[in-house]
Chain A
Amino acid sequence: MQVLKKIGLGLAAMLASLNAFADYAWNFPEPVTPMALDTLHVHNKFMLIAMAIFFVVLAIMIYSIFAHRKSKNFKPVADKAPSTAVEIFWILIPFAILLLIDFVIMGVPAYHSVIMMENTRDKANMVIKITGSQWRWQYEYMDGDAQGIKFVSNLSTPKEQTDKGFAGTKDGNYLLEVDNHLVLPVGAKVRILMTSADVMHNWWVPQFGSSRLAVPGFIRETWVQVLKAGTYRGQCKELCGKGHGYMPVVVDALPAEEYKIWVAAKKEELAKASIGADREWTKDELVANGKTVYEKNCAVCHQVSGAGLPPAFPALTGSKIANAPIFGADGKYLKDSHLDRVLNGVRVMPSWKALLNDIEIASVITYERNALGNSMGDVLQPAQVKTARQ
């Protein structure tokens, strides 16, 4: 019964959604870069050619199926191999047509698209570096006014919505919203340097028409030039572990003036965030701040409760590492200590060195040692993290 009910609901939803299909994308989403525009043209052209070939051949076959059947008493006519020059000529014509389609009608525009896509040599207006990691994107502005801006972009869909068995209403941009959008100026040719901190990822915004693999240890290049202001959404496109479906890309393209304002504001914000890195923090401050950092970055594997998902993702509650000293007698942090793990990672655990600032690392470690069922009672100061980094 349950199954029948489900199928019934599904069919009802299908019928109801026929209306929604009117504005449903049957093709690539609206292109906003020269590359995406070109890709759409090439795609449309090739699809038309492919469909034309398909339907012509299908028509011939269907005619034959209806005309040449035994039930209509059609007597088979044996084929004879082509023997005269004229017959061989006729056989070669479809071959020649296909050569023309493959290597001229399709081959030439495809050639130009490739050259365009790979043209990262032309002077770019700005350069950004994108680092994929499990399971977030890190953006760094490499030159111009924005030089030095660097931030991490995490999924910001509320966690309860992505939990198993969530039955309520989901946000409109479910799984396609992040806390920090990448912001690019409209019209600028942006050279993108792509790399990864752990496994392979693929940075993909369908409306940009570009996607490039982020390979750990290597830098790959691509470029975008967004021609229209707006917010564009995409996702990671290379299987990268359990959070693969949860690392969206969101890009805001702003007109030049607004972009300048954003750059100034972002710089101020980042400067503010690092204020206080040198002062002494209280335990309560660190724990309170650490809870936010933990739930945003760590809870995806170690769970909000700290119970983890053993054996792949160990529990922090009662963990040997979170309940052991961080610093040795010489004042340096110990190998395999809590701080070592967070800074440098091990196996599946990523290195957080580049992803979190000193305050965030100090907060989250203090939180993990004094909450989640642990009570070490000690405090890690941002200044100590700063020293440990050197």
Chain B
Amino acid sequence: MSTITVVHHEEHAEHPTGIIRWLTTTNHKDIGTMYLTFALIMFFVGGAMILGIRAELFKPGLQLMNPEFFNQLIGVHALIMIFAALMPAATGFANWMIPLQIGAPDMALPRLNNWGFWLLPPSAILLTLPFTLALFGIGDGALATGWTFYPPLSIQGGIGVDFAIFAVHLLGISSVLGSINIIVTVFNMRAPGMTLMKMPMFVWGWLITAFLLIATIPVLAGAVTMLLTDRHFGTHFFDAAGGGDPIMFQHLFWFFGHPEVYILLLPVWGFIPQILETFSRKPMYGYKAQVYSFWGVGVLSVVVWAHHFFTSGMPVPALLYFMYSTMAISLPLAVMFFCWIKTMWKGSMSFETPMLFTVGWIILFGIGGLTGLVLADVAADAQYHNSYFIVAHFHYTLFAGGIMGIMAGTYYWLPKMTGHMYSEKLGKLHFWLTAISFNLTFIPQFFLGLAGMPRRIPDYALQFAEFNMISTIAAFILGLSQLLFVYNIVTCARGGKKATAQVWEGAQGLEWTLPSPPPYHSFTEQPTVK
């Protein structure tokens, strides 16, 4: 990353080099780069786990692993993808882009920022260590309850559960620290003239995400702590025999878990209009409507949690309330989709890699959203719940809606970050391979779910064989295509065609006024926004 240290103000350039630089850095770009690198590594760790699972599910029968190990892989795959890949990726972009986009020299709380990042590697180690310990005969492997920790299964589980609980604590602290930093930065460090209603959409997305994190992470931390005391200190929060209730855990978990979906998605929703306006060469449509929709989704997201466990049994009025409030989320989302398509409409579009990913994102996330609307129906949910239909649905929202959005953002800002252009040819190839193999992986899973295949089973009845085979083959293509992504990023960081400050013809916003790559300390003189 030596390319980043092209320095305009020599007096600020003094910083340690080598490993000490990265351990002690308080620079928002360095920390952003570490977050993004960490996320990319963990994306492959989580991906390798799921490829193991897909290989096992290639045909009926047990071929590669026993059911215990299978159960460990599914849960750790989810925790890693959510907490160690998608969330750090979004935080990495926040670190890099929020100061650039609001015209600030750095994040408001740089030391906190450093700490926030360095909590992540230990928690990733905590999550995966039980796998290694089991090889040496200590414990029986990682968390085998799925990522949702439902008791009493998690109370039965081995040391993997305890490791995962502590990992979640650390990840939670890291997220809350990051959120505090972002809120303080956004409220205090905007350039003169940049009112809240002039902030870029990405900053808006993150601001709401930060509030959601602060509101919900403590609930998760509390719930898993109660689980810990149930496991080891004789409490009975989730044990009916002692007056507790296992369903209470589901309420607490999903009070965090549902907003978490939007925590993962809101930053990405911020990318989309910015990329669209750049490559449509016209200002985005309905900025205010989108900001209000972000707020709408943010508020609704904390009042719909119980739709994740309709089949657990609840009073009819509760079922109806959670059904209708869930359906209501489609209203702000529809406004956003309308604004995004209207931004494209009568623009002068070109389709570089970020734009391809964005258009693909809109279509695929649309499928995720619409199947979500159908899932809100309580009666039909009795069929969809915990079947492969739901697996397909949330991968449309979180892989297509999350990770593909992150990829769009990566290609969009990579030239700004590194100062070099990436290979457009490889980028486009990466997009097409990803989009096609993603659909081939998950469309069969919709049909598997409708036909009655439950999720989280290591072996299945013969009637599910064909679709599983297609899904596995496509999943391997999807996984391998991501190597192109890494190759493209690494070659781009190392060199290549120099990027201009503007990078994209239609790009708008403060980050494009700085040279590419930006100086080590951005905006030493405050820009003014009209």
Contacts and interface: CB of A to CB of B under 8 A. Distances in A.
B378 interface: yes
Contact of A79 (B150, B283, B323): B283
Nearest to A205: B452
Contacts of B312: 213, 215, 220
B187 interface: no
A237 B373 contact: no
Given A26-B447, A174-B60, A202-B311, A102 B320 contact: no
Interface in A226-269: 233-246
Interface stretch (A114-122, A276-284, A369-377): A114-122
B459 A117 contact: no
B326 to A, nearest CB: 10
Contact of A46 (B374, B470, B472): B374
A42 B380 contact: yes
B386 A241 contact: no
A328 interface: no
A117 B311 contact: no
B344 A202 contact: no
Interface stretch (A54-62, A140-148, A290-298, A333-341): A54-62
Interface in A1-42: 7, 10-11, 13-14, 17, 20-21, 24-29, 35, 38-39, 42
B251 interface: no
Interface stretch (B11-19, B209-217, B219-227, B363-371): B363-371
Given A64-B341, A115-B316, A237-B385, A54 B349 contact: no
B158 A110 contact: no
A242 B473 contact: no
Interface in A177-217: 198-200, 202, 204, 206, 209-213, 215-217
Interface stretch (B89-97, B120-128, B460-468): B460-468
A57 B281 CA distance: 21
B349 A69 contact: yes
Interface stretch (B27-35, B43-51, B327-335): B327-335
B379 A110 contact: yes
- Chain A contact patch, size range: 35 or more
A28 B446 CA distance: 11
A215 B63 CA distance: 32
Q: Determine the main DSSP class of B at the interface with A.
A: helix
B466 A24 contact: yes
Contacts of A106: 327, 373, 377
A3 B25 CA distance: 45
A53 interface: yes
A79 B67 contact: no
B462 A199 contact: no
B176 to A, nearest CB: 29
A68 B60 contact: no
Contacts, number: 298
A35 to B, nearest CB: 7
B387 interface: yes
B68 interface: yes
Given A110-B377, A217-B246, A162 B386 contact: no
Contact of A58 (B67, B150, B320, B363): B363
A147 B52 CA distance: 48
Contact of B470 (A14, A61, A118, A163): A14
Contact of A216 (B152, B323, B350, B385): B152
A89 interface: no
A162 B457 CA distance: 13
A78 interface: yes
Contacts of A69: 348-351
B135 interface: no
B282 A206 contact: no
B320 A111 contact: yes
A175 B459 contact: yes
A347 interface: yes
A162 B124 CA distance: 34
A114 B378 CA distance: 6
Nearest to A347: B156
Given A98-B334, A245-B457, A39 B347 contact: no
B66 interface: yes
Contacts of B156: 198-199, 241, 347-348
Interface string A327-361: 00000000000000000000110000000000000
Contact of A47 (B280, B374, B382, B451): B374
A242 B71 contact: yes
A75 B472 CA distance: 45
Given A14-B469, A239-B153, A60 B382 contact: no
Contact of B451 (A25, A57, A199): A25
B311 to A, nearest CB: 5
Nearest to B287: A81
B324 A107 contact: yes
A61 B359 contact: yes
B379 A200 contact: no
A71 B313 contact: no
A110 B321 CA distance: 12
B341 A61 contact: yes
Contacts of B286: 81
30 contacts: A10-B472, A21-B466, A25-B447, A27-B450, A43-B377, A50-B371, A61-B362, A64-B344, A64-B349, A68-B346, A78-B283, A103-B327, A106-B327, A114-B319, A118-B316, A162-B459, A165-B61, A166-B62, A173-B461, A199-B152, A211-B311, A218-B247, A233-B461, A238-B150, A238-B386, A239-B145, A239-B456, A241-B144, A244-B457, A312-B158
Give me the 7 closest cross-chain CB pairs, A-B, nearest first: A217-B240, A113-B379, A245-B457, A206-B452, A76-B282, A50-B370, A17-B466
